[in-house]
Structure 1
Amino acid sequence: MHGITEVTEEFYGSLSSKKPFNSLVELRFEDMPEWKQWHLLGSGEFPTLEKLFIKNCPELSLEIPIQFSSLKSFEVIGCPKVGVLFDDAQLFTSQLEGMKEIEELDIWDCNSVTSLPFSILPTTLKTICISGCQKLKLDTPVGEMSMFLEVLRVHACDYIDDISPELLPRARKLWVQYCHNLTRFLIPTATESLTIWNCENVEKLSVACRGTQMTSLKIKLCYKLKRLPEHMQELLPFLKKLYLFDCPEIESFPEGGLPFNLQLLCIRNCKKLVNGRKEWCLQRLPCLTELSMVHDGSDEEIVDAESWELPSSIQSLSIENLKTLSSQLLKSLTSLQYICIQGNLPQIQSMLEQGQFSSFSHLTSLQSLQIRNLPNLQSLPESALPSSLSQLEISHCPNLQSLPLKGMPSSLSKLSICNCPLLKPLLEFDKGEYWPEIAQIPTIVIDWESL
């Protein structure tokens, strides 16, 4: 296809056909470096076309309007001359007039795009995805407009330094990634899901007004962000999921704490925040059912234990490298069903080795236990496992040399042992010393192989 410079009438076959390609739903043009012109008949061709995909056609321009009335998705990747039409409001308008059902517009790697004429976008358009358009800025339109976008994805557009909520009054889902000049973000009222990922210069995150509809907020690799939006309880009352990954400058949650409807809290590599956890007041969150924390082991013991409590509603707990996590803290978790412990957890390791898990009445609801990356763990005593357990996974424990065979719960339905070299020969099918004791377990996985 490298030698094609024009797509002519021959492409449509017999000209006697009133509607060429009358059943085609998706059309793709890809890697045609010399293609310059696409001759459109304008006689009802592609009457059922729903998706048009043009990739790596650097010489193609679309000065003749595309009259595809059924088109719902238009995707352009690496086509700079096609990208020019987005900057020409008159030309862009003529193109859009023939797309009466357009729902999604994707523009990738078109450095010629400097703006988008938001005020003339069709009301059917619900999703815009923009990636690698290095010169694009999202300026607030002048004059009256009624924005209808529900989904906006912006990726690797370094000219963007601000995203105005006036552009997105109805947007439900927003993704902003690798926009290195973005310094602030004001969350629109209708936003339900927001992801800000690897925008390293974002310093301020705020909420447009009270009662914002957001249910999920994910922030990752925002190195300069020092705080979350103030008054989250009032401004984000519907927030259910909060993810904070690699935000080293965030020191605390906002005054008043997190929203009461929060169900999932996931924190990874936020050193200052975790080390200030005594101010979190998580015990005030009655709906919190899932908590995940990945730390670097720099935490210090909290003297006043009551300052660091977890709500009894937690059903899933995953902890890595929180060396001061104590068995005392777990006593309140009467609803716990799943727990994953890994890394530097000396107090929990001691609890395991002493068989204290089964002595806690609150763990009778525990169904799944995962033990990972405990290099110093050598054994699990007979009383180490709670009677309610149905799944046990142990991985990357190179010094573990014994299992509590007589203490294996009768309810255990799955046993998975991976990268535990001292245990592997004991568990060998039909030969290992432990095999007679574990053979009745329905599912057994050793080093990712089912026995």
Structure 2
Amino acid sequence: MLPSSLGELIHLHYLNVSGSAIKTLPESLCKLSYLQTLKLGSCSKLTMLPNGMYNLVNLRHLDITGTPLKEMPKGMGKLKQLHILSNYIVGKQKEYGIQELGGLLNLHGSFLIQKLENVVDINQARNARIMDKKHIDKLWLEWSSGNDMVSNIQIEGDVLNNLRPHTGLKELIIDGYKGKIFPDWLGQHSYNNMTSVSLYSCKNCCKLPSLGQLPSLKSLTIYGFSELKCIGDEFYKNEDDHTLHIVPFPSLETLKFMQMPCWELWYSPSSEAFPQLNNLEIEECPKLKGDIVNQIFMRIVSSSSDVSKVRTLFMHAENFTGMSLDGDSLSLRGCEWLVESTFMATIIHHLTSLQDIEINGFLCAAISLPKSLQKLVIWNCTELEFPEQQQHKYDLVELEIYASCDSLASLSLDAFPNLKTLSISECSNLESISMSEPPHTALQSLTITRCHKLEALPRKMDTLVPNLQSLHIQDCGRICRFPEGGLPPNLQKLCVNGSDVLLRGLSSMGKLEALTHLEIYACDYESRINSFPEVDTLPHLPSLTTLQISSFQNLETLECNELLHLTSLQQLHIQYCRNLQYLEREKLPSSLLLLEIKDCPLLEEGCENKHQHIWPKIKHIPTIRLNYEDFSK
């Protein structure tokens, strides 16, 4: 609360209590006849203003944004000096009505009128003189969302008709209007400064206003039109005006349709329409036919002067579908109707510089790859047919396949001589990955996870991918050995998650003198290893600095002696080994700077209690971390 003595500060010009928990303002506030700025924004508990607000005759700025006032005080029309009034809440009684706005002709900037459902007299709307407020740039007209009962739809329409703004307005928002049609003034070409129109939750409207003739309109959002079934010619041009020959939506760049559950038909405009459109978003419009959207999208692509700026997104009620272009990247998400072969061919024809394609969630489709393509990502497309590998060479640099391409049994890297990164996950029928001479010198990163039919890593990896730096093998249960000749000599990071047979054969990895990071994960649901590393299972790794041992559910003993030859080891991470409790033989390597233990309760207990069979083997390590917290020695 503010003290009543506030009214004694008779020379006060500026008062700001925004964001406070204030519940009421003292009536003495209304004695501050010199007050020019009063900021009450985001006062979440303030519901009423003092009754004598009309006495603040020099007030120029009143901000009540985000403050839940029930209505405005009476006599607001006497505040002739007001330049900035963030919003006006219409009351039910006449003295708190909208007609009080008639005297506020100096309003500037953005202005919101709320609770317009309380306007039941057309004359009150007319007397608000919205047309005469020449300095307002943005007008927001709002009917309360919780008030769905409309006593007279005709009055609702007449009220909006009499709230017509001046023709210099730049931005218009209409929210919660419950009439069936919009007044004729909305969309007239005389509003030549209008750049943005948003129509929200106009649930009874069955026809959109004629907005296509607004010459400067750049952004249009249509949201929550529950009854609208069809968008036709009326959207592009006023049928009663035969004198205009403006291209429909000549400046529109962004068009959004959202939550229109009954929308089925979108009649295609002339081929000249939307010459500047580069962002089309359609969300939760489940009945809209895909072929219509395709036509609109292709018109955008084919007519855009800068196709790299085109971005289109479709989201339907039951699934996520879409297409977006961002620079040289194309992203496709959803249903197969978006990637019919002819449709994709047309897109690729226009997008000659396309470098990235992402495809997510398509049920069935075949794709062809443009020559320029550098990156291909495929997600959740089980029936998608992977491009034929034998007949073409592709310039791909990055290829990622996740839970897709069930028909893919064999992948040959010979078709991708420039590939640097390959990631394959959950390809249910993949049995082999192959490569042949000459060496694939570009490949630097290879990740293979959850490919349960894959029986082996590619042959001769040590010579055919000599520059491979990162290798990640996870949950490929049929892989039981490393390839003959070992792994590539320049490998720097290796993550192995596999069977006991594979983990016991780590010594066959070869001479990995460049390896700095090694992660070893057991298949915890089946591993029977109780002591690790077993004798001579780790090869000579002179550059290794980080070792992680994880998910050995039956592991009881860590053999310290088998780690002593790791003379460069600085970090040892042990995690998710719930039965591990012993450190056998010598102490851990003297080069260690960090020992981190997570979710290994028996070993953690031994460390905390400084058990005589554990503490002497780790106390030389500068930092010991137990479950993310540094252990105090």
Q: Map 1:263-302 to 2 at 5 A.
A: 263-273=444-454, 275-277=455-457, 279=459, 281=461, 283-300=463-480
For the residue of structure 1 that corresponds to 2:533, the secondary structure is helix
The C-alpha deviation readout for 1:23-70, integer Å capped at 9, x for no partner, is: 9999877766556546759667777x6xx6655544457653585847
For residues 182-238 of structure 1, what are the alpha-carbon distances to aligned partners after superposition, in whole Å with 9 as ceiling and x for unaligned?
Answer: 2x22222122211222212224423698553321111122262224565x43x4222
Deviations 1:380-412 (A, max 9, x none): 233343232222221111221134796334543
Partner of 1:64: 235
Change over 3 Å in CA distance of 1:211–1:80 after alignment to 2: farther
Map of 2:312 onto structure 1: 128
Deviations 1:326-357 (A, max 9, x none): 13323322211111111249799766144764
Q: 1:401–1:422: 8 Å Cα contact kept in structure 2?
A: yes
Query: What TM-score, normalized to structure 2?
Result: 0.55
Match of 1:180 in 2: 363
Deviation of 1:285 (Å): 0.5
The aligned counterpart of 1:107 is 282
Cα distance change of structure 1 residues 89 and 276 upon mapping to structure 2, 3 Å threshold: same
- How many Å separate the matches in 1 of 2:196 and 2:572? 47
Percent of residue pairs bearing the same amino acid type = 23
Q: Is 1:221 the counterpart of 2:403 in the alignment?
A: yes
Q: Does 1:246 align with 2:422?
A: no
Q: The residue matched to 2:357 in structure 1 has which SS?
A: strand
Which residue is equivalent to 1:19? 170
Taking a change above 3 Å as real, the CA distance of residues 53 and 193 of structure 1, as seen in their structure-2 partners, is farther
Distance 1:160 1:317 in 2: 39
Q: Which deviates more, 149-158 or 6-15?
A: 6-15
Q: TM-score if structure 1 supplies the norm length? A: 0.75
SS in 2 for 1:380: strand
d(CA) in 1 for partners of 2:629 and 2:193? 47
Q: Is 1:389 the equivalent of 2:569? A: yes
Q: Which residue of structure 2 aligns with residue 143 of structure 1?
A: none
Q: Is the 8 A contact 1:314 1:336 kept in 2?
A: yes
Q: Aligned pair 1:156/2:334, yes or no?
A: yes
Q: Report the equivalent of 1:412.
A: 592
Shift of 1:16: 5.9
What's 1:334 paired with? Answer: 513
Aligned residues: 421
| SS of alignment partner, residue 290 of structure 2 | coil
Using the TM superposition, give the Cα deviation of residue 421 of structure 1 relative to its aligned residue in structure 2, in angstroms. 1.4
Task: Tell me which of 183, 191, 199 is aligned to 2:381.
Answer: 199
The unaligned stretches of length 5 or more in structure 2 are 1-144, 173-191, 237-247
Deviation at 1:137, TM superposition (A): 12
**Alignment correspondent of 2:58:** none
Residue number in structure 1 paired with 2:522: 343
Query: What letter corresponds to residue 176 of structure 1 in structure 2?
Result: I
Q: Secondary structure at the residue paired with 1:191? A: coil
Seen in structure 2, the aligned counterparts of structure 1 residues 426 and 38 have a Cα distance that, compared at 3 Å, is farther
Q: 1:392-443, CA deviations, whole angstroms, 9 ceiling, x for partnerless residues?
A: 2211112211347963345434332122111121233xx5446787577565
Bigger shift: 27-36 or 191-200? Answer: 27-36
- The alignment yields a C-alpha RMSD, in angstroms, of 4.5
Structure 1 residue 131 displacement after superposition: 4.5
Query: Quick one: which of 333, 354, 366 aligns to 1:171?
Result: 354
Distance 1:186 1:381 in 2: 53
Q: 1:312 is paired with a residue of what secondary structure?
A: coil
Please give the alpha-carbon distance, in whole angstroms, between the structure 2 residues aligned to 1:33 and 1:410.
73
Aligned to 2:487: 310
C-alpha distance in structure 2 between counterparts of 1:210 and 1:78, whole Å: 44
Extract unaligned runs of 5+ from structure 1. Answer: 139-146
How far apart in 1 are the matches of 2:320 and 2:575?
Answer: 47
Structure 2 CA distance for partners of 1:64 and 1:449, relative to 1, 3 Å: farther
Deviations 1:124-164 (A, max 9, x none): 343334444999999xxxxxxxx998332222204356443
1:426 aligns with 2:426: no
* Secondary structure class of the residue paired with 2:353: coil
Q: Give the Å deviation of 1:292.
A: 1.0
1:375 corresponds to: 553
Letter in 2 for 1:217: L
Distance 1:153 1:328 in 2: 43
Task: Describe the SS at the equivalent of 2:501.
Answer: coil
2 CA distance for matches of 1:135 and 1:353? 50
CA separation of 1:135/1:420 partners in 2, compared to 1, >3 Å: closer, same or farther?
closer
Distance 1:348 1:402, change over 3 A: closer
Give me the whole-angstrom Cα distance separating, in 2, the residues matched to 1:16 and 1:38: 17
Q: Tell me the residue number matched to 2:186.
A: none
User: In structure 2, do the counterparts of structure 1 residues 18 and 263 end up closer, same or farther at CA, with 3 Å as the change threshold?
Assistant: same
In structure 2, the CA distance between the partners of 1:284 and 1:12, relative to structure 1 (3 Å rule), is: farther
Q: Which residue of 2 aligns with 1:144?
A: none
**Which one of 231, 252, 256 corresponds to residue 436 of structure 2?**
256
Deviates more, 1:189-198 or 1:409-418: 409-418
Change (3 A) 1:103 1:20: closer
Instruction: State the Cα distance separating 1:445 from its structure 2 match.
Output: 3.6
The answer to which structure, 1 or 2, has the higher relative contact order (CA under 8 A, 6+ apart) is 1
1:324 to 501, 506, 509: 501
Post-superposition shift, 1:277? Answer: 3.1
| Code of the aligned partner of 2:166 | L
CA distance, structure 1, for counterparts of residue 542 and residue 363 of structure 2: 49
* 1:250–1:25 distance in 2 versus 1, CA, 3 Å: farther
Distance 1:44 1:442 in 2: 70
> Structure 1 residues 219, 314: closer, same or farther in 2, change over 3 A?
same
Residues 252 and 280 of structure 1 are in contact (CA less than 8 Å); yes or no, is this contact kept in structure 2? no
The residue aligned with 1:446 is: 626
Q: Is the 8 A contact 1:114 1:135 kept in 2?
A: no
Structure 1 residues 180, 18: closer, same or farther in 2, change over 3 A? Answer: closer
2:470, 2:494 within 8 Å by CA — same for their partners in 1? yes
- Residue type at the aligned position of 1:179: F
CA contact (8 A) 2:284 2:316 kept: yes
Q: Which has the larger radius of gyration?
A: 2
Letter in 2 for 1:112: L
C-alpha change, 1:91 and 1:389, in structure 2 (3 Å) is farther
Aligned residue for 1:424, secondary structure, equals helix
Q: Distance in 1 between matches of 2:327 and 2:390?
A: 17
Aligned-partner SS, 1:417? strand
Partners of 2:317 and 2:162 in 1: CA distance: 31
Q: What one-letter code is carried by the residue in structure 2 that aligns with 1:327?
A: L
User: Is the 8 Å Cα contact of residues 223 and 258 (structure 2) preserved in structure 1?
Assistant: yes
User: How far does residue 260 in structure 1 lie from its aligned partner after superposition?
Assistant: 3.4
Structure 1: how far apart are the matches of 2:329 and 2:623? 42
